[in-house]
Chains A and B, each alone.
Chain A
């Protein structure tokens, strides 16, 4: 295990092991409790194992990239999740639903804005490609009810067929296509619930702010700003116009907001036709307060309507045609300005940045409670020269914008069994089109604020205006208009002889995407895959893709991506014999080359642009446009990763227990980065070049126990992933001291000084070069011993990425009841808590103070202080990156929990209802970790993430 904890992280090793053990102990306890409880129930229950359970694992098959394999033939390293377990989760985006489900797949919530998919997904430390039915699509528009299964493709063998897009792994979502068995069902669900903010950063009351502000001024040798009278007035709250004390969080945020969701699904299956049809509507209100004076809502408001129709028809006994159609409209309203959108050419991923929401929460962090009264006595908005912007105005009087994100996809798949020509020969064609249109309706306006002045002699009240009342603008913009075509032509053939079989498939794929004004983005990918197996014992797989993209230079576009793998089903060996207990024992190994596409729009061409700076020659100014060169060209090739994966799968007691373990060691090379040895003498910025080398390695474990009787069933599954990365080469410049280097370190480290306690006597060091220290300032370790602290003393101080991630899912069903809970967590990660919301009096001394500042250093509290002395504005010595500001971001969270009861009374069947299920579920229910001001996952600077409570009913007809 030690290999995962590089010597540099020595301080973290013991911490990590400790916290991991704590959590494992917790989980073991949990398992033990559920085990004993269910075992007791189980013994009372006359357990009659359902045949299906024993069979299920061995006949189970997994959808992979354009193929499906049975469990016996599995060689690839994958993670598999049944879509059923994602339904009923009260989430607007399924991204968060994947948290903690699959070993190595890490989902981190970055904010809680409804409909702003603020979550990042990583797989084995890299950002995976998301495929829906084999085609890259945006995950945020997927709906939980439409998902048949989620397969995570991890190793080279599983992703080699993706060719130039395989290096980062993939999350493959397969949509529901038909009913589980012949016949048809209709079900309808209605959900309703509330969301409440998890963590908000609460400011100190204004009188404490004033006291601390005076103290900070005194610390800087300046005169106090607030008099005793001021502070008394703030304390008493009697003079709310001249001495206001506003709670901005309370002003901006509601305690809770409602959401609702309705889903109607119909599915069926017969010899000739199978289908899945679904309509899904949800709406979630934001947590923002609104003003009654407005005829429109300025609350963040999100709603989504998704319609899906997946239909397959057998045209002839040998020819089938499938048509999958999906349209989704997502509508968001935000107060104030226009969101901006990003679109990944390669991944079809949409990213949204809500400047107005960010600014709003920025103001909340940066404005002390006594900055200005929300309203003046005459009803106008308060403001002053320091704070010309009124938060209430920002929230309710700056208009709103409405964004419509429209996605539409159509897949048209035709398949012909050619056995009548040549036995086991088939042909398939798949044509798909995806459209995304995002348009924004902007209705923003400006608002004035007024500062009230009372003349001390005449007592006249006058007002000074800041800003102006702007007319509401009404404009509509199409932010993104994209269409992409995907074509897959395939043929395959299989044969069997004696106890051997061979399966061959050849695919040609073409995709053509158009983004805004750019030239088409074309990927061509052809691959051959072969699977050969002997006697159900050895399975050999080989895949080779030949793949490329037109944005690379000719001659550098196409490359081969081969991969191979073998698995050995030991349990099928004769020597293994008949073990009743062990029903599966398999070893897997794979090795191969995968590519990552990052062509950067014809960047191999040396071009000029006319966006330079204009110059105004002439006795009267006449603009002459500036024209200048673009970045220097560099001929890129695809980034490549050589992946090695070793795995083992064990199943015991008729699949009641199962365990999978995977070890991987991937070497990424030709990674794009700017060369370290660069010089500004070039006179141009350096392009990215294929030079970086990084090693990704790790260990993933998934284990579970499940059992099912006639009336009782339960399961517990857990997964844990240990990851490590190492920068093998980054063309690092010569560093003066070894601790300054980044080569050989992990990716995503935080660099800074090592804090070394507080200064106790004035002038004491070492402190930042040139800084005159006074007691209560931070001291730092002088690593090079030259007496001053400067960039030579900065070093790697902690990992920003989690090294251990895990999840545990437990479930129990007894008669009509079902119950499940999912815990997820991360360990060995630190965050650097800096800036507004963490430091005192930021924003040039204008910003607020927070409870942690009460523990600041003063001469009286020198022994117990946990925070440096206070200063106004950013302090050049204390407010710099150092270990002092690092906090553990380890956490474990009860991500989702659900309880339900299903009625299947005969009476219901008389009215054609097969069952009714009542359920309650929740998301982000409990969190261990972080502290009272920040959430360890998001740090809680912006729109808060939320806890959701949901209740609903599902009726099956």
Chain B
């Protein structure tokens, strides 16, 4: 082979290599590929994946009662701490809770407002994607129909949450937006939003199953749909919304309330609550044999019980104990109940503590109270499970007590009110133990329905019907019937007296269930219950082991002004769509 041939050989192989590479590229190297075979088509072509998609929408409910407790993580603070139920552990001004109760709104608060808005609209989008694709899924016709109703319930529930925070919001209907969708919608009026939720519930309730068993337990039932309708209509009939707008601007008014009052809304609310009762599926979980009011304690520990209408389905957990147990029990003591909450509990004879006949003793204020008190609050010398010694021991909250003693409000190492919370906690385990409870905190439970019914009935002049509901609740609570069999409820109260009784009962029965925050607002009673000091108890232990206690004002007076009623619509929304009107005071 001469040089020239060698060269050609070399050259050709070189070029060949190049061509080989280029050809290969065109065919395989640049093919559009993805390691992920999940997409809209594949997900909804598979029944298991479709159900997984639905599970993700359901898990949005965990916001309501997250694994870390009521609206704790997502909200950046507990709604309870923003009412007279409790005070917050965290004194720092950068915490959302503090910004709301001190009225110094900073970045954290505005970010949270945006997060809430985004969270629910994201869930609404997921719901609409589900509904859009449902027809093509291989689910059985029955399951298709049923899950469509479940999703419509969830979507309406998300609007209900949005309305609590923001008033009338933008109803997006069934549309799944794309990047090019126009963004010029106005907020729907309050009335339109209520009508939407109610019409959805009316449409789906008749076809929803009454109950589920086994692995399907926890899905949306007819009772849940009726319960949502009952709550929404009760809110709509309430003073803040029923013609009682806090804004003078008529256009804004109709976004956050009905333009004018109408007493018939109470009738609708009463009927809606009655509809749940008339299902005859639910009853109060009662057990006064084990000990008075044990049913009220036990109901929060059992996944399935007669009282739950819709719970948040969690795995076995120690969430409530972890979050609320006092320091000595290894908990995070996230909330400190107030003296206001303690005082709201009647005596075990059902009489309020300011009633002469109540036998209340300020010196021994924790004696002989409504049994629910003992399942809601840990007070000085209250007994609670101690993992270290494996038995019930007292928790000491007096000033100077080791670990759990009252602390100055500037620190975050223990109670600043003299109390710790224990509502829904399992007293036989503590945060420091490894045991778990298969609890599912309720979104709707029958007790709320009875309170809704009582409130609406009383507004409609049916005071006796209203009082019957309170009597039922108090009977379950383990309060003594009394000689008149009225469980401390006076005979023939006036409508006003009855209203106060109902509000108080709601306060204590539903404490720490994220109801109070919304109740105070819808009653338009921010000035009455909020916007002032909350109180704690300062207990001094004497040398002989006796105590001296005095009430004191915790931290600073709380802020409650017109902008406390609604959250601000996120600034970014208004900046990109000038048709959106901002809420009053923001």
Q: How far is the CA of A630 from the CA of B126 in the complex (A)?
A: 11
Give per-residue flags for B27-39: 1 if the beta carbon is below 8 A from chain A beta carbons, else 0: 0011111111011
Which residue of the partner chain, among B7, B43, B172, B215, contacts A627 with CB atoms under 8 Å?
B43
Which residue of the partner chain, among A512, A769, A844, contacts B29 with CB atoms under 8 Å?
A512
B410 within 8 A of A: yes
Q: How far is the CA of A608 from the CA of B53 in the complex (A)?
A: 10
Q: Is the CB of B92 within 8 A of A844?
A: yes
Residues of B within 8 A of A508 (CB): 18, 21-22
Q: How far is the CA of A734 from the CA of B119 in the complex (A)?
A: 24
Residues of A within 8 A of B216 (CB): 617-618
A628 within 8 A of B: yes
B446 within 8 A of A: no
Which residue of the partner chain, among A522, A605, A791, contacts B571 with CB atoms under 8 Å?
A791
Residues of B within 8 A of A615 (CB): 55-56, 58-59, 62, 218, 313
A684 within 8 A of B: yes
Interface positions of B from 68 to 98, Cβ below 8 Å from A:
90-94
B304 within 8 A of A: yes
Which residue of the partner chain, among A553, A626, A629, contacts B129 with CB atoms under 8 Å?
A629
Distance in Å: Cβ of B439 to nearest Cβ of chain A:
10
Question: Knowing A386-B413, A613-B59, A734-B578 touch, does A418 contact B11 (C-beta < 8 A)?
Answer: yes
Q: Is the CB of B29 within 8 A of A612?
A: no
Question: Knowing A522-B30, A844-B90, A874-B92 touch, does A628 contact B126 (C-beta < 8 A)?
Answer: yes
Interface positions of A from 614 to 647, Cβ below 8 Å from B:
614-630, 632, 634
Q: Is the CB of B92 within 8 A of A625?
A: no
Q: Is the CB of A619 within 8 A of B410?
A: no
A656 within 8 A of B: no
Q: How far is the CA of A510 from the CA of B304 in the complex (A)?
A: 62
B262 within 8 A of A: no
A-B contact pairs, 5 of them (CB 8 A): A520-B29, A602-B34, A617-B313, A683-B122, A845-B91
Which residue of the partner chain, among B4, B51, B105, contacts A770 with CB atoms under 8 Å?
B105
Distance in Å: Cβ of A735 to nearest Cβ of chain B:
7
Residues of A within 8 A of B413 (CB): 385-386
> Which of the 9-residue segments A2-10, A335-343, A875-883 touches chain B?
A875-883
Q: How far is the CA of A605 from the CA of B39 in the complex (A)?
A: 9
> From A676, which residue of chain B is reached at the shortest CB distance?
B576
Which residue of the partner chain, among A427, A553, A681, contacts B121 with CB atoms under 8 Å?
A681
B114 within 8 A of A: yes
> Which of the 9-residue segments A215-223, A371-379, A917-925 touches chain B?
A215-223
Which residue of the partner chain, among B18, B59, B117, contacts A614 with CB atoms under 8 Å?
B59
A519 within 8 A of B: yes
Q: Is the CB of B93 within 8 A of A510?
A: no
Q: Is the CB of A620 within 8 A of B313?
A: no
A677 within 8 A of B: yes
Residues of A within 8 A of B218 (CB): 615-618
New A-B contacts (6) at CB < 8 Å, excluding given A550-B31, A629-B40, A680-B573: A427-B11, A608-B40, A608-B53, A678-B572, A771-B104, A875-B93
Q: Is the CB of B92 within 8 A of A626?
A: no
Residues of B within 8 A of A734 (CB): 575-576, 578
Residues of B within 8 A of A676 (CB): 576
Give per-residue flags for B402-433: 1 if the beta carbon is below 8 A from chain A beta carbons, else 0: 11000011111100000000000000000000
Q: How far is the CA of A55 from the CA of B123 in the complex (A)?
A: 73
A489 within 8 A of B: yes
Distance in Å: Cβ of B118 to nearest Cβ of chain A:
4
Q: Is the CB of A616 within 8 A of B575?
A: no
Distance in Å: Cβ of B42 to nearest Cβ of chain A:
8
Which residue of the partner chain, among B102, B114, B125, contacts A682 with CB atoms under 8 Å?
B125
Residues of A within 8 A of B35 (CB): 517-519
Give B contacts to A, CB under 8 Å.
Answer: 3-4, 7, 10-11, 14, 17-18, 21-22, 25, 29-36, 38-40, 42-43, 49, 51-53, 55-56, 58-59, 62, 90-94, 99, 102-106, 110, 114, 117-118, 121-126, 128-129, 170, 172, 176-179, 181, 183, 185, 213-219, 303-304, 313-316, 327, 402-403, 408-413, 438, 559, 570-573, 575-578
Q: How far is the CA of A385 from the CA of B412 in the complex (A)?
A: 10
A679 within 8 A of B: yes
Q: Is the CB of A618 within 8 A of B217?
A: yes
Which residue of the partner chain, among B315, B410, B573, contacts A679 with CB atoms under 8 Å?
B573
Q: How far is the CA of A687 from the CA of B129 in the complex (A)?
A: 18
A453 within 8 A of B: yes
Distance in Å: Cβ of B364 to nearest Cβ of chain A:
26
Q: Is the CB of A557 within 8 A of B30?
A: yes
Which residue of the partner chain, among A616, A735, A873, contacts B315 with CB atoms under 8 Å?
A616
Q: How far is the CA of A550 from the CA of B413 in the complex (A)?
A: 55
Q: Is the CB of A680 within 8 A of B118?
A: yes
Question: Knowing A615-B56, A770-B102 touch, does A622 contact B559 (C-beta < 8 A)?
Answer: no
Q: Is the CB of B14 within 8 A of A429?
A: yes
Residues of B within 8 A of A578 (CB): none
Q: Is the CB of A876 within 8 A of B59?
A: no
Q: Is the CB of B121 within 8 A of A602?
A: no
Residues of B within 8 A of A464 (CB): 403
Which residue of the partner chain, among A222, A421, A608, A681, contacts B409 with CB atoms under 8 Å?
A222
> From A602, which residue of chain B is reached at the shortest CB distance?
B34
Q: How far is the CA of A735 from the CA of B368 in the complex (A)?
A: 61
Residues of A within 8 A of B52 (CB): 610, 612, 624-627
A294 within 8 A of B: no
Interface residues on A, range: 35 or more
A126 within 8 A of B: no
A191 within 8 A of B: no
Residues of B within 8 A of A845 (CB): 91-92, 410-412
Q: How far is the CA of A831 from the CA of B410 in the complex (A)?
A: 31
A720 within 8 A of B: no
Q: How far is the CA of A923 from the CA of B255 in the complex (A)?
A: 66
Q: Is the CB of A681 within 8 A of B172?
A: yes
> From A769, which residue of chain B is reached at the shortest CB distance?
B105
Q: Is the CB of A524 within 8 A of B25?
A: yes
Q: How far is the CA of A676 from the CA of B577 in the complex (A)?
A: 11
Q: Is the CB of B106 within 8 A of A607?
A: no
Q: How far is the CA of A733 from the CA of B125 in the complex (A)?
A: 24
Question: Knowing A553-B32, A613-B62, A680-B573 touch, does A453 contact B438 (C-beta < 8 A)?
Answer: no
A487 within 8 A of B: yes
Q: Is the CB of A880 within 8 A of B106?
A: yes
Distance in Å: Cβ of B568 to nearest Cβ of chain A:
11
Q: How far is the CA of A73 from the CA of B63 in the complex (A)?
A: 67
Q: How far is the CA of A94 from the CA of B315 in the complex (A)?
A: 53
Q: Is the CB of B34 within 8 A of A519?
A: yes
Residues of A within 8 A of B62 (CB): 613, 615
Q: Is the CB of A770 within 8 A of B56?
A: no
Q: Is the CB of B40 within 8 A of A619?
A: no
Distance in Å: Cβ of B291 to nearest Cβ of chain A:
26
Residues of B within 8 A of A609 (CB): 36, 38
Residues of A within 8 A of B410 (CB): 217, 220, 222, 845, 872-873
Q: Is the CB of B103 within 8 A of A770?
A: yes
Q: How far is the CA of A848 from the CA of B469 in the complex (A)?
A: 56
Give per-residue flags for A217-234: 1 if the beta carbon is below 8 A from chain B beta carbons, else 0: 100101101000000000
Residues of B within 8 A of A416 (CB): 10, 14
A292 within 8 A of B: no
Question: Knowing A618-B218, A682-B179 touch, does A223 contact B408 (C-beta < 8 A)?
Answer: yes
Question: Knowing A686-B179, A770-B102, A875-B93 touch, does A605 contact B34 (C-beta < 8 A)?
Answer: yes
Q: Is the CB of B118 within 8 A of A768?
A: no
Residues of A within 8 A of B94 (CB): 873-874, 876, 879
Distance in Å: Cβ of B178 to nearest Cβ of chain A:
8
Which residue of the partner chain, among A608, A683, A686, contacts B125 with CB atoms under 8 Å?
A683
Question: Knowing A416-B10, A876-B106 touch, does A677 contact B316 (C-beta < 8 A)?
Answer: no
Q: How far is the CA of A587 from the CA of B22 in the complex (A)?
A: 40
Distance in Å: Cβ of B132 to nearest Cβ of chain A:
12
Q: Which of A520, A613, A790 has the most CB of B within 10 A?
A: A613
Distance in Å: Cβ of A811 to nearest Cβ of chain B:
47
Q: Is the CB of A844 within 8 A of B409?
A: no
Residues of B within 8 A of A628 (CB): 53, 56, 126
